[in-house]
Amino acid sequence: MKPTPLLLSCLVLASCAPTLIVGVGGRIVNVRSGQEGVITFLGGFRNRASLATDPDNVTVAIGNAVYSGRYTVLGRDGSLGNLGVSLNFGAGFTSGYDDSIFGNPGFYTSGSYGGSYRPFADDQNFTRPGNLIARATTPGGAASTLTCTFQTDRSLHGIGTCQDSAGGSYSLQF
pLDDT along the chain (174 residues), means of 10: 49 42 79 96 81 90 93 75 48 53 56 53 73 87 93 92 96 96
Residue 128: the pLDDT is 93
Asked whether the beta carbons of 49 and 76 are under 8 A apart, the reply is no
User: Which pLDDT score is estimated for 18?
Assistant: 40
| pLDDT score recorded for residue 11 | 44
Q: How far apart are CA 53 and CA 76, in angstroms?
A: 21
100, 104, 109, 111: CA torsion to nearest 10: -70
pTM of the model: 0.61
Could you give the CA distance from residue 133 to residue 122 in angstroms, rounded to a whole number?
32
pLDDT at 140: 75
Nearest to 57 by CA among 74, 39, 75: 39
- 171, 161 contact by CB (below 8 A): yes
Give the separation between CA 4 and CA 6, rounded to whole angstroms: 5
Q: What is the pLDDT of residue 125?
A: 67
